Amino acid sequence: MVIVTIQIRLRGNDGGGLWLGSLIAALSYGVASMAMVFINKAVLMEYTYSMTLLTLQQFGTTLLIHFGRVFGFIQAKDVNLRTAKKLLPISLFYNANVAFALASLKGVNIPMYIALKRLTPLAVLVAGFFSGKGRPATQVSLSVILTGIGVIVAAIGDFSIDLFGYSMALTSVFFQTMYLVLVEKSGAEDGLSSVELMFYNGILSLPFLLFLIIVTGEFPHSLYSLLDKANSLSFTVILILSMVMGIVLNFTMFWCTIVNSALTTTIVGVLKGVGSTTLGFVLLGGVEVHALNVTGLVINTSGGVWYSYAKYQQKKNKPRKVITDAESNHR
């Protein structure tokens, strides 16, 4: 359990060790996010009940953290009702984001899914401005806009006709934006660690998700289907892998957002999307590569590199500050 014993929060920092911590958080989220797209797609090709899949992932996460706390492997503060009320909107936005994303992934190929989700940084930039975060630096704004332009150019050359899937993905972009902004705000104000945020999110999510799978009619059909497929070793392996990666993805997303920013997390998602798109063409097939696709990806990547340089310059000009668990507990 090395990953869950990290006890340091990083805020607006520079320097070798602290910069390395921020970089590791970003890379971890990028790798986990890219893997999760393909794993979820593989599961949904055989098991179409996306809400039940999300419920299983959240249940596994919550159960693991609970027993980790009981046996002393994970250090986390006790659940507080006041904190839970503050985090309730985050939980709702999180589940809405993942639910709409999974619904989109059922009908949209991975390259187009990634292209649509890459619009999130623009939404985060606008949401941050209107939520009182202030106007971002000019280079940051221009780099994110360039990234968005690259998305549009790439998408024009690869649009297939699936309006429902596209609408689901764009709705997911909205909820992911609100979710990331709120996670960054709650992590900074409440001094919660990544694991604690995951635990609260799981506890708050399960009643909501159980209600949804009943109302939408997935249950009990999803349970019967799950039992029927239990004899398939390949499906069982990919399902377990999906649950494990759900835990890893949740942790790395919270971690990256807390030690960096919501915008950094979404930009990392954009950059990993280049690899996901390429693999999507190779692994899935049936998607033709056009000049517009390549041009859009080049523009998109250029915007991501530009953004990284702009954020590095900002970090160099900020004071070094480290907040430990012990300090946050005495606040």
pLDDT tens figures, 259-292: 777 667 767 776 776 677 767 766 655 566 678 8
User: What digits encode the pLDDT tens for the residues 67-125?
Assistant: 888 888 877 778 888 888 888 888 888 888 888 988 888 777 777 787 787 777 778 88
Distance separating alpha carbons of residues 37 and 174, to the nearest angstrom: 18
Identity of the highest mean pLDDT range in 57-61, 157-161, 277-281: 57-61
Higher pLDDT, 186 or 248: 248
b/e 177-197 (16+ beta carbons within 10 angstroms → b): bbbbbbbbbbbeebbbbbbbb
Stretch 34-43: mean pLDDT: 85
Of the candidates 120, 102, 201, 112, the one whose C-alpha atom is nearest the C-alpha of residue 154 is 112
Domain positions in the chain are 12-316
Sorting pLDDT into bands at 50, 70 and 90, what band is 175?
A: very high
If you ran DSSP here, which 8-state letter would residue 321 be given?
Answer: E
pLDDT at 322 over 80: no
Distance separating alpha carbons of residues 130 and 124, to the nearest angstrom: 10
Distance separating alpha carbons of residues 187 and 30, to the nearest angstrom: 20
